[in-house]
Amino acid sequence: MLSGKTYVVTSIDLVNAVNRNSKVLAFNPFIAFLGKRITGHDETTSRIVQHNLNGENGQGYVIEIHDGTVSSLASGPALNHMTANMLAEATTFFDGLKAGAVIDLFAWTKRMVTLCSTQGIYGKDNPFNTDVERMVQNFWSVQPLLVVDSSIPALIFEITKHRQFDEDLNTLILDFAPAILAPKGNRARWELGRAFSRYFDRFDAGQSSPAALTKHRYSVNARYRLSSFNQGRLEVGVLLGILANTIPTIFYTILHVLSDQQLLEDVRGEIEALALRREEGKLVLQVLQVREKCALLYSTLQETLRVHAQGSSVRYVREDIMLQERWLLKKGMVVQMPQAVMHSDPEAWGPDVSVFNPRRFLKQSTTARDNEKAFKPQLAAYRPFGGGTSLCPGRHFVTMEAMVLTAVMVMGFEVLPVDGQGWKIPTQKQESMATNVFPPGEDIQVEVRQRRGWEGLVWEME
């Protein structure tokens, strides 16, 4: 499937043309092609996944799962329920910092977001609660494993050639069994699958109170008569979507705010004025107000994704197609749309494209100074969540989670690097083709203590 030519598309107009032709330039074939190699489900399940993959004869398994995921994660009661479960877990992590602590910021963020996100999605019977340390370790062992298949090196070559990832790419794509050449990741994948198989064996939506997302997936799996073993294996792939991009995004958002004193003061002022209420003995953070009213914090998150989303959208060419009456794409080939190229294009973002500008996404009237007209970004070049029919359905949850967790960290605590050398933003390293926002190549150790005058206050999410 991936041994032929790869077309690399970086023009905004051509990217939009690709998105408009989603039936011919499709993402779903990659789900079928790579899914079994990522999760290890059996051949029967693989045939179910591949049936009606592109809606040839009505809905198939993948389309049903996708459509239910979109509706479950749209703004509304279902998303609010999942967010509330996530935030209830998050408060325990922030409470643990009140006495003061020295932490590795990425490691702390990784553990917090892994447990908070899975609690929000799987409810009280969250499999990660059975053995927290082991489950967290297992997921982060699987994540770099990704795919083992002999036909992918051609695609890797094209990505590294055009994206210069060869120095950072540490995930080897091989044509031998992962049990032999990646025993740690393979074992971790097996343990994660077993834990989620047990979860689905005992699944009780009324008792566990999982997210609508999980209830829908369980319902579809049951209707297609998937065994609990294969449901558990498929959930390993779901975890990649839930966590792999979210955690580095939250880490870098927090870090960019903390490391810029003026930005930190402005974000604090914005949150306190628009989304925070003090009551006796507690701080009430108005979650929806954070998302809807805190424009500077939202712009900072968007800029974090512009700078740090380095992945690539992919499409499979199902039939010959001519784009813009000029570009012929041949059947069986692959289309790559690298985010790093579009996110660093000065024509789209202006002459300061290489600078982290937390106000870049604010409305022009709020960024113009001295009556000079501010550069207006071409937002069509902004693709951290992909685009078209494969636009990430989890983007609303990720946005809410990142903004609220950043808000609590910067409002409740003073955070300083311990080495005395000041803040630095660590460079990223690629761990997996399955991710867009790669983790930092090194962690940063920080000292955390409660802000003066805010000691002893209890956080409450509203």
Following DSSP, what letter does each residue of 233-268 receive, concatenated?
A: HHHHHHHHHHHTTHHHHHHHHHHHHHT-HHHHHHHH
Say which residues have a Cβ less than 8 Å from residue 453's Cβ, sequence separation at least 6.
Answer: none
Give the whole-angstrom CA distance, residue 196 versus residue 214.
12
Total residues belonging to the chain:
462
Taking the alpha carbons of 348, 351, 354, 356 in that order, is the dihedral positive or negative?
negative
Give the whole-angstrom CA distance, residue 222 versus residue 227.
8
Give the whole-angstrom CA distance, residue 145 versus residue 147.
6
Closest CA to 442 of 427, 431, 430: 427
- 316-321's contacts with Cβ under 8 Å and 24+ in sequence apart are 316/1, 316/25, 316/26, 316/27, 316/29, 316/30, 316/33, 317/7, 317/24, 317/25, 318/23, 318/24, 318/25, 318/26, 318/29, 318/54, 319/24, 321/21, 321/24, 321/25
Residue-level pLDDT, tens digit, the chain, 462 residues: 555 689 999 998 999 999 999 889 998 887 777 777 778 888 999 899 988 888 777 789 999 999 999 999 998 899 989 999 999 899 888 988 888 889 999 999 999 999 999 999 999 999 999 888 888 887 776 665 443 333 333 333 333 333 322 222 233 234 355 666 667 777 888 888 999 999 999 998 888 889 999 999 999 999 999 999 999 999 988 888 888 899 999 999 999 999 999 999 999 999 999 999 988 888 899 999 999 999 999 999 999 999 999 988 889 999 999 999 899 999 999 999 999 999 999 999 999 999 999 999 998 654 444 444 567 888 889 999 988 888 888 999 999 999 999 999 999 999 999 977 789 999 998 766 667 899 999 999 999 999 988 888 888 888
Q: Which residue, chain included where needed, has tokens 């009661």?
A: 77
- For residue 338, the SS3 value is strand
Other Cβ atoms within 10 Å of 364 Cβ, number: 11
pTM above 0.85, yes or no: yes
